[in-house]
Chains A and B, each alone.
Chain A
């Protein structure tokens, strides 16, 4: 019997039972012996200096062990490079406890270590800090005069700055038959994974540490710790098998990691430092962004002019950038473009990639302008996008490695019933509610990076796969096991996947929707290498049937090597291992073929179709149903993939209608720092959501032909909601989140 392929199978999450029964241990839950606890004190002013720190009362509290501030911290390196993690934007990374300067409100300025978390927290409340405050600026709209071009660096290689202008935008815009000119403002958002940031550091002695951290990159944290604290890489092991959501917040080592490791090294003790929810609002966030679009089209509906400008916040010390304005010309051909992206430094922490960074911001503006042009031209919004369909990426003049967006449009529209839509605005009612239907395109690029993996067949016949990669809740553990099982022709339960550990082969940070493609390809490469080695060893067996057979003449299935043309000729893995007497192991780096990849634009696409109901008098908005069709190459596991897209769609509802970090610019701080007032959707907000995966074959992007699906479900959802609200009410509310009272 030939086993069905594991890739494409809806395998349940292998760790699911552990998670739902509370047996999965998270970073802040390792209860080592002699563990002490740190509580972080954050600044309460946005800018200035600390001029006095009174620790007297706090030190008197029974159980307090030490209080660390800039005054008694260990000597630390001065060079920026030592603090630069894999995701550091150009600039000078933040250095906790460096000196008495306050750079932003909520800056970590002290760590109280005590025998319990509660004692540390209480003692922290007794530390009295006197500040000398200076004037701070946190208001993006009031500081536009300080907008500047972003610095270039490593980060801008992955997240390119806008391409140069093309053609003559001004002239083409004036000559356009119809135009759309709109402005947009997006509030800041904080990632808020349910698991709070936490680190447990085990002091092993002799300069060795074992660190359990909440992170999206174990290797990233290992390198950061080793560099900052002058330890040998091999002496720092960072472990993170379970991550309770990341959404980008764990792409950079957060300050609790620094403080926990510092305390452990100084005290020579096992230390845990956990943040509380309020502290989750004191580091990276999605930046406030202002956008302006000016699109023009001719009478036939072809785009003729496209201008998209964005101004986003960054910190005073780093230039965080994201790709906001580049997508329009990747989605739609147009000869005359003018794209611009600028930053305004403010007295806030550096922003940080948050699910579909830049894309979910920029697509709102792009897809709103497209929607407006369609209405002005009296062309159906979907038809208008088909008229402007890009068979080739017009922004870089390259072919797509694959692109099934058209199928997304068609299959999504069919499932949604787009054909039955009443095209008139403010013309469909259910009781006292207006009904609107809107759609949007989505795009997210496919990033290729090198990664390593190893594979080992043990004497007992288990297949052990290793990678340092984390699983941030997306199903990575399960799908990597599927990829290995598929390649080796074994059952998924025969795979032992060791991951989430910096001792394992190097993996990039888990983000950008690239993990499946990047790490999956490394695992596939390791498994292919293992097959070759296994086959070689098979030939060493006395009277092996494969002596004159080549690798491509056999298949691997059911833990056997089988001759393709005569399945009765085979060798069991057990036999090979028994004969070889040692485990068979390989390690493989997968380096993307940049020369080939460079010739193509590589992107996943989606199309979202949304229905909303808006109460005509009260303004209240409900997303009653939505369909998202996704073209993202090979879908490794339709079940976990569907969950990813549902999560993205829910986030789209959140982004369009719910979520915002309220920045009080007088106090220079985010003020709704708890999950009661930071509104993410609840069950009552989410109705019928449907997901379609469109078949798409891609032989360019990576070995698996898989594009990644972390961001693409969110990319198209929020603009489709805004467009549906317009269809229902005739109003365009361009500030996200849309507050229902703006429809009154």
Chain B
């Protein structure tokens, strides 16, 4: 760890001003990812701008238009256990609580969750080539140990996956991201926030360098009747998803009125396919129909030596999760994925 300066931000404007003055500075909120990256020498900020004094950004509140505003600095734990979230957006609680550990969730913030880096081993190993860390150096994961890597939307430059659980639920809920800069406030659709690696795997998202995430906006509808989050991983807690699925379902006259399915652990961003979802509207919520959408979602999938299994696993997980969404009792804390 290098020597570094430290400033505590007094206001959002102040924050952006300091950042503007020092391009090699870095924001710190929960620090649960930044400190890892720093210790591994992946990031060496010359100055930390501590956001933790910005009390306004720690709140969770219902807006007049019925949407929910999750402050960017509200912790994951505060969010997951907040009554508004537990009662009206339970899929978000489930997703958050399936991630990390109690200690990390107590420190990690919502804004930070959106910005967390991939957990690709090669990205964290300074001695390995990595196009995301060092563009043009190569991607050893493609021919290497790629059990945790992407099967959808990867490129010849990068097959890393975005590791968040929370964001998979946010994608299914169709949340929006509010960002602030000196030019004002910008609202980004969740689907447009994270990006695929393409030829620029060093870019994880579309946030600009002079912008700060201030809030996540949850739409009015929280799918609190028919929802499910399923996470499959190499141990029962404290492991990133090999495959995760968030399903938000709305039924009308026993038929599907709306279905949003987001996949985690399979791509550089939360994976959705709105065309596939549209094909189920007006259909019955049957296993066969869920198998149909699962096939559509994985149609373009391409696996590598150690992660080919994810294609079949993701299909089965989608079917299971959609069936679980029909039965909210499957969502009790600690429950095994079951029917």
Contact = CB atoms under 8 A, between A and B. Distances in A.
Interface of A: 44, 118, 121-122, 125, 276, 431-433, 613, 615, 617-620, 622, 658, 662-664, 666-667, 669, 671-674, 676-677, 679, 681-685, 739-742, 744
Contacts of B41: 125
Given A676-B119, A682-B237, 4 more contacts: A433-B336, A671-B144, A684-B236, A740-B234
Contacts of B210: none
Nearest to A106: B127
B235 A684 contact: yes
B316 A666 contact: no
Contact of A617 (B147, B238, B310, B316): B316
Given A125-B41, A741-B313, A679 B234 contact: yes
A432 B145 contact: no
15 contacts: A118-B1, A125-B41, A432-B339, A433-B336, A615-B338, A618-B232, A618-B337, A662-B147, A666-B140, A666-B143, A669-B127, A671-B144, A679-B234, A679-B239, A684-B235
Interface string B103-142: 0000000000000000101101101100000000000100
B145 A744 contact: no
A147 to B, nearest CB: 24
B339 A431 contact: yes
A674 B124 contact: yes
Contact of B336 (A118, A622, A679, A741): A622
Interface in B209-239: 232, 234-239
Contacts of A431: 338-339
Interface string B299-314: 0000000000110110
B338 A682 contact: no
Contacts of B3: 122
B125 A741 contact: no
Interface in B296-339: 309-310, 312-313, 316-317, 319-320, 336-339
Given A432-B338, A620-B232, A658-B234, A664 B312 contact: no
B2 interface: yes
A594 to B, nearest CB: 46
A741 B240 CA distance: 15
Nearest to A683: B237
A276 B41 CA distance: 13
- Top 8 A-B pairs ranked by shortest CB distance? A44-B127, A684-B236, A741-B309, A684-B237, A671-B121, A662-B145, A682-B237, A664-B144
A356 to B, nearest CB: 21
B238 A682 contact: yes
A744 B316 contact: yes
Nearest to A658: B235
A619 B127 CA distance: 35
A334 B239 CA distance: 45
Given A677-B121, A684-B237, A672 B320 contact: no
Nearest to A123: B2
Given A615-B337, A679-B239, A744-B313, A739 B128 contact: no
B125 A671 contact: yes
A683 B101 CA distance: 11
Contact of A664 (B140, B234, B317): B140
Given A622-B336, A682-B238, A684-B235, A671 B317 contact: no
B317 A618 contact: yes
Contacts of A618: 232, 313, 316-317, 320, 337
B145 A671 contact: yes
A674 B121 CA distance: 9
Residue from A44, A664, A683 with most neighbouring chain B CB atoms (10 Å): A664
Contacts of A620: 232, 337
A667 B235 contact: no
Given A662-B145, A671-B125, A122 B234 contact: no
Contacts of B336: 433, 613, 615, 622
Interface string B55-77: 00000000000000000000000
Interface in B228-262: 232, 234-240, 242
Contacts of A677: 119, 121, 148
A618 B309 CA distance: 11
Given A122-B2, A667-B128, A681-B235, A617 B320 contact: yes
Contacts of B239: 676, 679
A672 B121 contact: yes
Contact of B121 (A615, A662, A742): A662
Contacts of B2: 122
A674 B140 CA distance: 18
Contacts of B122: 671
Contacts of A671: 121-122, 125, 128, 144-145
B69 to A, nearest CB: 32
A64 to B, nearest CB: 13
Given A741-B313, A744-B316, A685 B236 contact: yes
Given A617-B320, A618-B313, A682 B144 contact: no
A288 to B, nearest CB: 14
Contacts of A669: 125, 127
Contact of A682 (B39, B128, B235): B235
A282 to B, nearest CB: 12
Contacts of B119: 676-677
Contact of A685 (B1, B235, B242): B235
B117 to A, nearest CB: 12
Contacts of B238: 676, 682
Nearest to B316: A617
Contacts of B125: 669, 671, 673
B258 to A, nearest CB: 25
A622 B145 contact: no
A744 B128 contact: no
A738 B236 CA distance: 15
A615 B313 CA distance: 12
Contacts of A741: 242, 309-310, 313
B313 to A, nearest CB: 6
Nearest to B230: A618
A121 B3 CA distance: 12
Contacts of B1: 118, 121-122
A671 B144 CA distance: 10
A664 B338 contact: no
Given A658-B235, A682-B235, A667 B144 contact: yes
Contacts of B145: 662-664, 671-672
A619 B312 CA distance: 11
A613 to B, nearest CB: 8
Contact of A666 (B144, B235, B237): B144
Contacts of A667: 128, 140, 144
A596 to B, nearest CB: 47
Nearest to B148: A677
Contacts of B242: 741
A122 B234 CA distance: 34
Contacts of A739: 147, 234
A375 to B, nearest CB: 27
Contacts of A122: 1-3
A739 B319 CA distance: 21
B87 to A, nearest CB: 25
Interface string B12-46: 00000000000000000000000000010100000
Contacts of B338: 431-433, 615
Contacts of A613: 336
Contact of B236 (A617, A619, A682, A744): A682
A679 B121 contact: no
B37 to A, nearest CB: 12
A682 B233 CA distance: 13
Nearest to B234: A679
A673 B121 CA distance: 8
A431 B339 CA distance: 7
Nearest to B338: A431
A260 to B, nearest CB: 21
A739 B144 CA distance: 18
